[in-house]
């Protein structure tokens, strides 16, 4: 590991100013991904700015009914928060599906959203990887790509985004608060935060230089029932082959509102507005779920070993829609 210097900051503006003063620095919170990357010298910051003690741990309701989650809130605390559990169960389920209890105790909301792909070629510094080194090529394209993307990928990169929480937040239509070194805060919908790989897979999101995520705000709970389902090779401590966040409202067996977002299938959480349109106004019956699953995967492309993920994603959505339609509403009236 390359040697580095370290400082701990106690307020967000100081954090941004410290980052602006040191272009070779990185923010660190739980460090559950960054430390691994530093050990492998994939990330080589000369200076770490510890933002884990910032006063950004509150999870609070706002006057208009939104929920504001501080960026330093631990994943365990967010998953166990009573408001999250009762009004946003899809978010709680997604958090509890991620990593292990120990990691969730360390990992922060902001860090979770910025974690990097788990493409094994990205972590193997002997392999070609455009994300690690622009122009190097992509070893996964014709290699072991069982876990890789089926939507939105390019010849430059077929990696997937690893966060479960980001998938639930995408279905919920969350926004992110980003603080700049000039002390201005901008708000970005999570659907506009992440980037597809294009020809620049090393640029993964639209965070500007030295900006700090200070909070995530979730709109008032949507009507309907919620579910996060994650399909993976083992029951815990594993990333998704495919996951899906579903929010479904029905009235007299007709679907009145639908939200669908996939994880494990693309370089970013993948909201399927096509599936949502195919569901809304339709009867809550298996043929509707099948039509939504088919249209959601209409543009999917397999790269060999991951061809099976197209059917897996269809079946995961179809099954989850049926389950959610059969659920009793768990939110307090
Ligand atoms: Fe690198 Fe992306 Fe290719 Fe993986 S899929 S080797 S991260 S360029």
- In a mutational test of the pocket of ligand 1, which residue from 118, 119, 124, 135 has the highest number of ligand atoms less than 8 Å from its CB? 119
- In a mutational test of the pocket of ligand 1, which residue from 117, 120, 136, 140 has the highest number of ligand atoms less than 8 Å from its CB? 140
Quote the crossing angle between the two packed helices 165-172 and 89-96, to the nearest 10°.
170
265 CA from centroid of ligand 1 (Å): 14
With a CB cutoff of 8 Å and minimum separation 6, the contacts of 278 are: 288, 291, 292, 295, 296
223 CA from centroid of ligand 1 (Å): 38
Q: Answer yes or no: is 60 within a domain.
A: no
Residue 238 DSSP label: -
The per-residue pLDDT for 332 is: 46
- Token couple for 128: 């070609």
Helix (H, G, I), strand (E, B) or coil at 201: coil
Q: Residue whose CA is closest, atom 7 of ligand 1?
A: 122
Residue 333 in this model has a pLDDT that exceeds 70: no
Distance, CA of 73 to CA of 165 (rounded, Å):
13
Q: Report in angstroms the alpha-carbon separations of 308 from 19, 81, 197, 291, 314.
A: 43, 36, 22, 19, 10
The per-residue pLDDT for 329 is: 56
Residue 283 DSSP label: B
Q: Residue whose CA is closest, atom 1 of ligand 1?
A: 129
Strands of 15-158, DSSP E:
25-28, 47-50, 59-61, 67-70
Please count the structural domains in the chain. Answer: 1
With a CB cutoff of 8 Å and minimum separation 6, the contacts of 173 are: 189, 190, 191, 218, 219, 222, 259
Residue 262 parent element (H or E): strand 254-263
Q: Answer yes or no: is 259 within a domain.
A: yes
Residue 330 in this model has a pLDDT that exceeds 70: no
The ligand 1 site (C-beta within 6 Å) comprises: 117, 119, 121-122, 129-131, 138-140, 157-159, 201
Q: Residue whose CA is closest, atom 3 of ligand 1?
A: 138
Q: Answer yes or no: is 288 within a domain.
A: yes
Residues in the chain: 333
- In CATH, what number is assigned to the domain containing residue 298? 3.30.390.50
Q: Answer yes or no: is 272 within a domain.
A: yes
Question: Per-residue b/e over 70-106, b at no fewer than 16 CB within 10 Å?
Answer: bbbbbbbbbbebeebbebbbbbbbbbbbbbeeebbeb
Q: What is the mean pLDDT of residues 275-289?
A: 98
Determine contact, residues 68/59, Cβ cutoff 8 Å: yes
Instruction: State the residue for tokens 């992110």.
Output: 176
Residue 274 in this model has a pLDDT that exceeds 80: yes
Q: Answer yes or no: is 209 within a domain.
A: no
189 CA from centroid of ligand 1 (Å): 26
Residue 331 in this model has a pLDDT that exceeds 60: no
Q: Answer yes or no: is 331 within a domain.
A: no
Q: Residue whose CA is closest, atom 2 of ligand 1?
A: 157
- Token couple for 24: 């070779």
Task: Pick the atom of ligand 1 nearest to 139's CA.
Answer: 6
- Token couple for 59: 């999870």
Task: Pick the atom of ligand 1 nearest to 127's CA.
Answer: 6
Q: Tell me the per-residue pLDDT of 213-262, one tens digit each, with 9 for 90 and over.
A: 999 999 999 999 999 999 999 988 899 999 999 999 999 999 999 999 99
- Token couple for 20: 């602006």
203 CA from centroid of ligand 1 (Å): 12
Q: What is the mean pLDDT of residues 265-286?
A: 98
The values of phi and psi at residue 216, to 5°, are -120, 130
The values of phi and psi at residue 246, to 5°, are -125, 135
210 CA from centroid of ligand 1 (Å): 25
145 CA from centroid of ligand 1 (Å): 10
Contacts of residues 80-83 at CB distance under 8 Å and 24 or more positions apart, as own/partner, are: 83/59
Distance, CA of 266 to CA of 271 (rounded, Å):
10
The per-residue pLDDT for 236 is: 87
Over pLDDT 90: what percentage of the chain? 97
- Sheet with strand 175-179: strands edge to edge: 59-61, 67-70, 212-218, 175-179, 185-189
Q: Answer yes or no: is 21 within a domain.
A: no
234 CA from centroid of ligand 1 (Å): 23
61 CA from centroid of ligand 1 (Å): 39
Mean pLDDT of the chain: 96
Distance, CA of 89 to CA of 84 (rounded, Å):
6
Per the structure, the complete domain to which residue 249 belongs is given by 225-326
- In a mutational test of the pocket of ligand 1, which residue from 33, 126, 134, 201 has the highest number of ligand atoms less than 8 Å from its CB? 201
324 CA from centroid of ligand 1 (Å): 35
Q: What is the mean pLDDT of residues 177-190?
A: 97
Q: Answer yes or no: is 311 within a domain.
A: yes
């Amino acid at each position: 590991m390359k040697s580095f210097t370290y400082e701990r900051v106690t307020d967000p503006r100081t954090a941004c100013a410290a980052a602006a003063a040191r272009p070779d620095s990185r923010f660190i919170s739980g460090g559950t991904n960054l430390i691994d990357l530093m050990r492998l010298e994939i990330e080589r910051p000369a200076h770490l700015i510890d933002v884990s003690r910032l006063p950004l741990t509150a999870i609070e309701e706002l006057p208009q009914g939104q929920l504001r989650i501080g960026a330093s809130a631990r994943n365990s605390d967010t998953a166990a928060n009573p408001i999250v559990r009762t009004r946003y169960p899809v978010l709680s389920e997604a958090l509890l599906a991620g990593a292990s209890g120990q990691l969730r105790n360390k990992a922060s909301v902001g860090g979770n959203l910025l974690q990097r792909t788990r493409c094994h070629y990205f972590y193997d510094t002997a392999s070609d990887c455009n994300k690690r080194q622009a122009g190097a090529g992509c070893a996964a394209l014709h290699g072991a790509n069982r876990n890789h993307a089926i939507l939105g990928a390019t010849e430059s990169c077929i990696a997937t985004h690893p966060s479960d929480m980001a998938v639930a937040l995408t279905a919920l239509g969350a926004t992110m608060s980003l603080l700049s070194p000039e002390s201005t805060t901008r708000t970005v919908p999570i659907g506009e935060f992440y980037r597809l790989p294009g020809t620049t897979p090393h640029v993964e999101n639209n965070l500007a230089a030295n900006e700090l995520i200070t909070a995530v705000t979730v709109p008032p709970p949507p009507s309907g029932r919620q579910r996060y389902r994650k399909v993976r090779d083992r029951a815990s401590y594993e990333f998704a082959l495919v996951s899906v966040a579903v929010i479904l409202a029905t009235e007299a067996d007709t679907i009145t509102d639908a939200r669908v977002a996939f994880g494990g299938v693309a370089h970013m959480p993948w909201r399927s507005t096509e599936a949502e349109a195919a569901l809304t106004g339709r009867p809550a019956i298996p043929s509707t779920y099948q039509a939504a699953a088919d249209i959601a995967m209409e543009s999917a492309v397999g790269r060999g070993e991951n061809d099976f993920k197209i059917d897996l994603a269809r079946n995961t959505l179809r099954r989850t829609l049926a389950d959610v339609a059969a659920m009793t509403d768990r939110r307090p009236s």
